[in-house]
Amino acid sequence: MLFAGKGTGLDSGSRLLFWTTGSLLLLSLAVNVYISLEFGRHHRILDELTDSVAAIAMQRDTLQSINRSLAARRDSTSALRSRLTSLEMRLAACSLEATYPGYYLIINTAENNFQLRYGDMLVRTGYCGTGKGWSANDSGLVWDFSTPRGLRYVEKKGTNPYWYRPDWYWLEQNLRPPRPDQVVVIPETLSYDQQIVYYRDSLTASERVWVAQVPGALGSYKIDLGGGVLLHYGTGLGRNVSHGCVRLSGSDLEALYRALPVGAPVLIY
């Protein structure tokens, strides 16, 4: 190798070219070494990421397995609870059959039917409509419209009932409950039957929405079980459609109204 120093016989231009070429070779070598080192580092990082992804996938599979197991246990617990409740209600029904000396009512919210009984004798049966359970509007407000289960009693009865619309009637339709000055009032000077005709024929559909005290919506009778739970006229029999009350046909409602005295047991399961 020739060195560009004294005695080499190279002029200054040649020496500059020599040194420039050498510097470029060294720089190229350094770049290659750096690239090789970076490639190795990134390869190790990629291997570590691959191992991490594999570990996360294993954890995910484990969590999914645990979740399935918990879901199965939850479903099993729910089924056992439902069976226990059903058994308790059957025991209560047997107790009523053996001890209660009068008419009583049994309501099945799963099958949506009722039985009017007197002791061990079935007097009348038919379909009813019970609570539809959880419901929500577009704003995210949530309600539980299930029919309360358990043993209740007839607290009071009445004829020609009004439906006093609660706030959820409007909220469920994504409407704001009306202010007092927005409520449409049916003239109280009219008889109950005349009020029904007025509501149906004299008001437009948009006006009927803002009536807070509605005549005729619940039928001709009501049986009050307390806690806001009524037996009244309604549609959707045989299904879970109500907001917690029990809907009946007009003829069944009248029969139950006449048969069940205040204090009569009503078993809902």
Residue 104, CA distances (Å) to 83, 88, 260, 264 in order:
23, 17, 7, 6
pLDDT of residue 47: 74
- CA angle (203 as vertex; 247, 217 as ends), nearest 5: 10
Q: Which DSSP letter does residue 184 get?
A: B
- CA neighbor of 138 nearest in space, from 171, 165, 166: 171
pLDDT of residue 2: 42
Place of tokens 């539980």: 144
For every residue of 156-182, which 3-state class applies, written as one string?
EEEECCEEECCHHHHHCCCCCCCCHHH
Model's pTM, two decimal places? 0.69
Query: Amino acid letter at 140?
Result: G
| 48-90 confidence digits (pLDDT tens) | 777 777 777 677 767 666 667 665 566 566 667 666 766 777 7
Q: What is the mean pLDDT of the chain?
A: 87
pLDDT of residue 1: 44
Average pLDDT over residues 218-231: 98
Is the pLDDT higher at 107 or at 31? 107
Distance separating alpha carbons of residues 137 and 172, to the nearest angstrom: 5
pLDDT of residue 79: 65
pLDDT of residue 37: 74
Average pLDDT over residues 40-46: 73
The pLDDT of residue 130 is above 50: yes
